Amino acid sequence: MATNGASCEQPQKRGTKDKPNGYFADSAVSERRQKDREERLALVLWRRPFITLHYFLLETFITLKEWTLKLWRRRGTVFLFLVLCSLFSLAYSTEGAHQKYVQYLEKRFLWCAYWVGLGILSSVGLGTGLHTFLLYLGPHIASVTLAAYECGSTDFPEPPYPDQIICPEAGGMEGSISLWSIISKVRLEACMWGAGTAIGELPPYFMARAARLSGADPDDEDYEEFEEMLGQAETAQIPNPLFDLAGITCGHFLVPFWTFFGATLIGKAIIKMHIQKLFVIITFSKHIVEQMVSLIGSLPRVGPSIQKPFSEYLEAQRSKLHHHTGEGTPASENWLSWVFEKVVLVMVCYFIFSIINSMAQSYAKRRQQSRQQRYSEEKTK
């Protein structure tokens, strides 16, 4: 009996001896992946500029090749699109009474495309998490609000606006501006920006959906990051700031495209956008702005010095609004606008650098996976 009992315990002991081997193997794989990840993250322009640019160009070539193959598979759609573009080009270059309609459509299309593009960039935050609402749409709504109260009318030019919003010669009456009239004035650009942010949520949805449909196991690094986001989302309040997680989750669970995109479009382009518009318009209403400037001036010690540039900025904007076409505009440039332009320039440059670094790291990951695949094949032979 004792012998049988001892023999029965032997497989269990053998199993415990095998466990450390598996642990060490998993540890070695984890260390190798961590080393590869650190090597990729070190591939940035300010550390390794030449190899980063080289990998960026190679990844760009591979991406263009993949897009070309995808377009070739849909050559019927591409051909129809080219035919439509040719017809519009012909109508654009041919003189006639239709030119005014063509020019109107052109201006509307470019204006909408501008705000949709900014909305897409807002989803990626220009590589820094900073939304283009704070850089472009918010100041635009604020300027229209200030112009409406100063001019007493919203009859200044329809979008796309000129370089400056100019008050009409026949000004409106004081107190004739309503909240609804200002909302209607900026509705197009605001909705287009919101639609752009909804479009910017599609890449994580399509990536997660393609990974699920392919049946391939997720990459360990991506899976760990996904689990970390899930853990953060469990403790996050609603609305969830990690909205990319919604696209990843909906794609992973194969939520229909129009269900996901329709809900995202309604939420971002209609509901959220009107809330943001109301906040900016109320904040920059004439009486609220005057109270805010006076409140800044009442701050101890630093109040008057801070109040002065704001007051000068508001006065400069009001003087610009009352300059009619052809009269010229003041040449003085406020230091706030100068700083704002430089911040935008820095953000755009950083965004371009982040794209180059990301594509170079993507190519480095291709090389690492290819090297690992060759090693696994040689090991199995």
Of 48-62, 78-92, 190-204, 315-329, which gets the smallest average pLDDT? Answer: 315-329
Best mean pLDDT range from 30-34, 93-97, 333-337: 93-97
Q: What is the pLDDT of residues 160-202, one digit of tens each?
A: 776 667 777 766 555 567 788 888 888 999 999 999 988 988 8
- Angle (deg, nearest 10), helices 138-151 and 303-321: 70
Q: What is the pLDDT of residues 10-34, one digit of tens each?
A: 444 444 445 455 555 567 767 777 8
Answer yes or no: is pLDDT of 83 > 90: yes
The pLDDT assigned to 227 comes to: 55
Q: What is the mean pLDDT of residues 103-128?
A: 81
Q: Which two tokens stand for residue 270?
A: 């209609």
The pLDDT assigned to 335 comes to: 67
- Can you spell out the DSSP letters for 89-128? HHHHHS-STTHHHHHHHHHHHHHHHHHHHHHHHHHHGGGT
Contact of 134 with 276, CB cutoff 8 Å: no
The pLDDT assigned to 10 comes to: 46
Contact of 119 with 197, CB cutoff 8 Å: yes
Of 33-37, 85-89, 266-270, 356-360, which gets the smallest average pLDDT? Answer: 33-37
Q: Which two tokens stand for residue 196?
A: 């752009």
Q: What is the mean pLDDT of residues 241-255?
A: 72
3-state secondary structure 213-272: HHCCCCCHHHHHHHHHHHHHHHHCCCCCCCCHHHHHHHHHCCCCHHHHHHHHHHHHHHHH
The pLDDT assigned to 113 comes to: 92
**pTM score of the predicted model:** 0.66
Local structure of residue 133 (DSSP, 8 states): I
Contact of 299 with 306, CB cutoff 8 Å: yes
The pLDDT assigned to 17 comes to: 45
The pLDDT assigned to 378 comes to: 74
The pLDDT assigned to 21 comes to: 54
Give which of 351, 70, 69 is closest to 206, Cα–Cα.
70
